[in-house]
Amino acid sequence: MSNDSPLAGQVLVVEDNPVNLNVITKLLQRFGLNPDIAKDGLEGLKAVEDKQYDLILMDIQMPKMDGYSTTQYIRQELGLNVPIIATTAHAFSGEREKCLRYGMNEYISKPIEEKELLTLIQSFTKSNKRNRDLLSTVERESVTDKFDLQYLMDIS
């Protein structure tokens, strides 16, 4: 991550789907972040045991250990209060509340919209003029407007 990034901090993405991972990584890089990657909940736990993160983007459905169990372990066993944003394709009524019950701080549905992701990340980072400028740029030049996220999700 460059020192002139408007957003600061160590970000972990826990995601098993290569297409989703690619989209999220590209968006975070556009925001000036260079995330670490874990491809399932067990890798995610290893990562948080080895390094301190300022934010975690946590997929819900993964092999080996799902996002709910991973988050519960982070909260209860490791005692960490790092902000965790659930990322899920489930748009069912009550899904956000379920994520919050399991210890996640917020929820974003897939396909992930660039502006919504940036707004969520900014809510967990220090707000400043550069953050507002970045949001303004994203509103004008959204990367996700240039390709069909649902198509990418469907073919993955």
**The pTM is what?**
0.79
How does DSSP classify residue 148? -
Q: What token pair was written down for 107?
A: 């929820």
Q: What token pair was written down for 37?
A: 């990657």
pLDDT in tens, the chain (156 residues): 334 444 567 899 999 999 999 999 999 988 888 899 999 999 999 999 999 999 999 999 998 999 999 999 999 999 999 999 999 887 677 888 999 999 999 999 988 888 899 888 888 876 544 444 544 555 545 544 555 555 555 554
24 three-class SS: helix
Report the pLDDT value the prediction gives residue 147, as an integer from 0 to 100: 53
- Radius of gyration of the chain measured on its C-alpha atoms: 15
How does DSSP classify residue 60? S
Instruction: Please enumerate in sequence order all residues whose Cβ is within 8 A of that of 62, keeping only pairs 6 or more positions apart, or say none.
Output: 14, 15, 16, 39, 40, 41, 70
User: Residue for token digits 């260079």?
Assistant: 34
